[in-house]
Amino acid sequence: MIKLTIDGIEVELEKPITVLEAARKAGIKIPTLCYFEGLKPFGGCRLCVVEVEKLPRLQTACTMMAADGMVVKTETEKIKAARRAMLEFLLINHPLDCPVCDKAGECELQDLVARYGPDAGRFREGKRRHPESFDDPIIVRNMERCVLCTRCIRMCEDLQGAYAITVTGRGSHSFVEPFSGGRYDCEYCGNCLTVCPVGAIMSRLHRHSYRPWYIQNNVETVCGYCGVGCTMILQMREGQIVRTIPEMGLGLNNGLLCVRGRFGYDFVQSEARLRMPMIRKDGELREVSWAEALDYVAKRLREISEKHGPQAVGGIGSSRCTNEDNYMLQRLMRFTIGTNNIDSAARLYYAPAQRFLERIFGQGITANLIPGIKNSDGVLIFGGDPTQINPILGLQIRAAGRESATVVTFGRAKGLERFAHYMLPGGPSVIDAVTGMIVQELRDKVQLSGENKWLEGEIQKTRVSEAVEGVSVDEVVERLKEMTNPVIIIGPEVLQSQNSDRTLLLIAQIVYLLNGRVFLLSDRPNYQGCIDMGVLPDMLPGGRPIEMFKHKAEEVMGKEVPTERGLNLFEMIEAASEGRLKALYVMGENPVFNLPDRERVTQALKGLEFLVVQDIFLTETALMADVVLPARAWSEKTGTFTNLERRIQMVRAGAESVEDMGDWRIIAELAQRLGEEKQFRSVEDVWEEITHVSPLHTALDYEEISKGNALWPYNGEPLRGVEEEVEIQGLDDIKPLKVEAVLQPDRPLYHSGSMSRHSKALKSIEDAPKVVIGEALSEKLSLKDGDRVRVTTERGTLKATVSIDSTLGDERVFLSNTFSEGNFSSLATYGVSRLGSMSLDANKVRVEKEEA
């Protein structure tokens, strides 16, 4: 216990902290400029100077540790004079162009000068000149305004881990620059923008378009790009987003965002947004009124369901829509139309993987907290680069690696190259053998708990009959067995192969042996919500298997749960092409673009009698629809998302556009036309019903959720005692597979696809697909970064630019599925894996250099 006196106030401290922090605790605000909460103190600006009794000189409060008995004064004449002098020095070279600076009004320098500064400068020498740089598409820098506090650099190095910018030059010719001196070419998280106290590093997106005091309202919501679910503030003016910013202390991202969250919001303001419902008349989509569109959809759905039975109707929910939206679609299908044909893109890998793990470990196995990752002593990463797929989660791994955790990657993970201690191969050909080798060594070195006899049996059964050449796991295993609270991260790249079930069982064995916490990467914001809302053919809301919970649901709903087995996403496509499925209702999903084998999917949808697409853009799928219904975008919705840690979070509308209704309401209107009696007046009504139907969400309301701690299992009851044995073949004969180069989907940092395609900002960073190859292939073909190549599969050929990933050690070739032209799905085909996910093994690929 330490006691000190600051400005006459006695402060008691538990543990040593700086004088600055101690003063803040006592409610005393010491001015600062180079200090930023969460960054290492730098002590460069000297504005935080204080007088400490018995010390001759003024001390910087941000670096001085509080000590017992200290007597500190924070505002004396001497201090004020010192601050004034420091500010005068800072202004010598400052352009004082506040009238044309976007920062004015929220500039720390301006505020400080107003409070402490001199009225006029005494220096008459010329100021340094350094023209504003527009080299970068989304960041504009004006280094004449820079006060060299290095906050941006500390942010970029110590929290973001990108090391993209630095102080170049010396003395008054020091400027903060990226390596290129021009474009940043960095991760574009924009976190340096947050910390710059002046207008030296700013976003170009809203340049000169507003003043901070023009912002009419600040709306707290969560990002709609990925399953991390970062909290952000929408700053609104006249119904438009001016910018999105994070806030320290808010949400699990605690002041940080990634490029998509920070700059990708402009898609909602795209010209291409749908505004009016459309019905296909004489072969063309024509705008109609809402009433006409809804009446027509209801009429057609009723006709088809009466004529061919409800089994001829299906629905696809959306991992980009809220829980409420998805719940309502599920409700429409199951309880109004009477079919279990409902699924979502969570089918592609997330839902089957989660189901598999839950069968082994029980419901909620993936419910672990992202901010806890940095405190773990080991992180194992399988199946993709978290710094691209779920960037803010990726930062936690970087932080862990920087502290004391051992970071082990399996397969490529470019963004962790500087942070990983071991990078083991992890492509489809070797992942089973590598994990099997680890299991074999580890099982004798750790104590088995006896908790899961079946799994322990499987662990003993595991046998690698042929080790991976040149790979030794001994050292890694030595580190693994010392770990006390490791984290195991599983991404899509190990979940989309024919035998992903075996891979996942092997990873599950490691989870069990290490008692690790599992995270399932989620490249969409609400896969988990789709699952929890019963957007699955065999599960009711709350993740309850139909056969077990049918009666309970019927009791609550007062309606029957259909008994016939439902079709999943793949089966619905198949049923459509065979003519068994006649009508499909697609909400916020674009199967024609997002599923490989466009030809097959297009043909299947063509076979439908009736296709409804509800979306914010006229997507490839919407272009085929009989009716297109315009929906609200993420920033116009109120509701909830459930992130990959299974935290329920509020999505709040920055502004609602009057014309459209939002997904859940469209469906509610439709249900009424199909005979539903219950009225849903607001989104709260929808949530209310969810809390009654889903045993997981019992008595949870928006107020509670708003506190940010709606964590699994909320107030509800997780499903217990349903763990079972999973049959996996070939566990006792694992060997590396001979595989040729296969094409795989890349999930790039700057893009998500459907939404980012309409974001000018994100497109200005990257506007064409890249073919990512490993070093071996690049050497074989003598390719270097930026070369043009032809990529050929059975489906066709496309041209793209090469990007070499030094951490990609196998012969996989990655291509993103994010641009209208040159996307992964146009070249690929898919099957269904034994895990139940999409299998992408069959996409043999050839890459050739395109001669200039």
Partner 1 sequence: MEEIKEILKRYPDRRGALLPTLYIMQREYGWLSQEALQAAADALNLPPATVKGVATFYAMYRHKPMGRHLIQLCTNVACMIMGAERLVDLLKERYGLEPGGTTEDGRFSLVIMECIGACDRAPAMLVDTDFHADLNEQNLFEILEQYK
**Residue ranges that bind ligand FES, judged by CB under 6 A:** 32-35, 43-48, 60, 62
Q: In this chain, which stretch among 176-184, 231-239, 626-634, 651-659 interacts with partner 1, using CB under 8 A?
A: 176-184
Structure-token match 């699924």, residue found: 343
Angle between helices 663-673 and 290-308 (to 10 degrees): 60
| Cis-peptide, bond into residue 713, ω within 30° of zero | yes
Closest to 354 in 3D by CA, of 520, 492, 508 = 520
Quote the tokens at residue 492. Answer: 């899509």
Rounded to whole angstroms, the Cα distance separating 40 from 752 reads: 33
Told to check if 152 binds ligand SF4 by CB under 6 A, we report: yes
Told to check if 195 binds ligand SF4 by CB under 6 A, we report: yes
CB of 33 vs partner 1, minimal distance in Å:
21
Which does residue 255 touch among partner 1, ligand FES, ligand SF4, none (CB within 5 to 8 A, set by kind)? none
Q: Which is nearer to partner 1, 421 or 846 (CB)?
A: 421
CB 382 within 8 A of CB 494: yes
Q: Which is nearer to ligand SF4, 229 or 426 (CB)?
A: 229
User: Radius of gyration of the chain from Cα atoms?
Assistant: 29
Told to check if 162 binds ligand SF4 by CB under 6 A, we report: yes
Told to check if 150 binds ligand SF4 by CB under 6 A, we report: yes
Which does residue 661 touch among partner 1, ligand SF4, ligand FES, none (CB within 5 to 8 A, set by kind)? none
Structure-token match 């991260």, residue found: 489
Which does residue 764 touch among partner 1, ligand FES, ligand SF4, none (CB within 5 to 8 A, set by kind)? none
Q: In this chain, which stretch among 173-181, 223-231, 378-386, 826-834 interacts with partner 1, using CB under 8 A?
A: 173-181
DSSP 755: T
Q: Site for partner 1 (CB under 8 A): how many residues?
A: 15
Told to check if 179 binds partner 1 by CB under 8 A, we report: yes
Report the length, in residues, of the chain.
852
Which does residue 179 touch among ligand FES, partner 1, ligand SF4, none (CB within 5 to 8 A, set by kind)? partner 1
CB of 402 vs ligand FES, minimal distance in Å:
23
Structure-token match 């916490």, residue found: 517
Rounded to whole angstroms, the Cα distance separating 511 from 308 reads: 47
Q: Within 149-168, which residues bind partner 1 (CB under 8 A)?
A: 157, 163-168
CB of 186 vs partner 1, minimal distance in Å:
9
Rounded to whole angstroms, the Cα distance separating 562 from 638 reads: 30
Rounded to whole angstroms, the Cα distance separating 382 from 488 reads: 8
SS (H, E, C) 435-495: HHHHHHHHCCCCCCCCCCHHHHHHHHHCCECCCCCCCCCHHHHHHHHHCCCCEEEECHHHC
| Kind and range of the H or E run holding 57 | none
DSSP 124: -
CB of 182 vs partner 1, minimal distance in Å:
10
Which does residue 807 touch among ligand SF4, partner 1, ligand FES, none (CB within 5 to 8 A, set by kind)? none
DSSP 614: E
**DSSP-derived secondary structure for 786-807:** T-EEEEEETTEEEEEEEEE-TT
Structure-token match 């990925």, residue found: 226
Which does residue 522 touch among ligand SF4, ligand FES, partner 1, none (CB within 5 to 8 A, set by kind)? none
Which does residue 363 touch among ligand FES, partner 1, ligand SF4, none (CB within 5 to 8 A, set by kind)? none
Q: In this chain, which stretch among 52-60, 144-152, 459-467, 707-715 interacts with ligand SF4, using CB under 6 A?
A: 144-152
Which does residue 35 touch among ligand FES, partner 1, ligand SF4, none (CB within 5 to 8 A, set by kind)? ligand FES
Told to check if 473 binds partner 1 by CB under 8 A, we report: no
Q: Within 368-387, which residues bind partner 1 (CB under 8 A)?
A: none
CB of 36 vs ligand FES, minimal distance in Å:
9
Quote the tokens at residue 619. Answer: 């997507």
Q: In this chain, which stretch among 218-226, 284-292, 763-771, 772-780 interacts with ligand SF4, using CB under 6 A?
A: 218-226
Q: What angle do CA 447, 472, 490 make, to 5 degrees?
A: 65
| Kind and range of the H or E run holding 359 | helix 350-361
Q: In this chain, which stretch among 177-185, 197-205, 347-355, 573-581 interacts with partner 1, using CB under 8 A?
A: 177-185
Structure-token match 């992130």, residue found: 643
Quote the tokens at residue 281. Answer: 């008349």
Rounded to whole angstroms, the Cα distance separating 424 from 408 reads: 7
* Binding track over 402-441 against partner 1, x by CB under 8 A: ----------------x-----------------------
Q: Which is nearer to partner 1, 163 or 214 (CB)?
A: 163
CB of 417 vs partner 1, minimal distance in Å:
9
Which does residue 650 touch among ligand FES, partner 1, ligand SF4, none (CB within 5 to 8 A, set by kind)? none
CB of 174 vs partner 1, minimal distance in Å:
8
Q: Find how far residue 419's CA is from the centre of its chain.
A: 20
Minimal CB distance residue for ligand SF4: 261
Which does residue 8 touch among partner 1, ligand SF4, ligand FES, none (CB within 5 to 8 A, set by kind)? none
Question: Across 501-560, where does the E strand assignment appear?
Answer: 517-520, 539-540, 544-545
Which residues fall within 8 angstroms of residue 468, CB to CB, at 6 or more apart? 425, 430, 433, 434, 437, 736
CB 343 within 8 A of CB 567: yes
CB of 711 vs ligand FES, minimal distance in Å:
36
Where do contacts with ligand SF4 occur on this chain (CB under 6 A)? 146-152, 155-156, 160, 162, 164-165, 176, 184, 186-192, 195-198, 200-201, 223, 225-226, 228-230, 253, 257-258, 260-261, 390-392
Where do contacts with partner 1 occur on this chain (CB under 8 A)? 157, 163-170, 177-181, 418
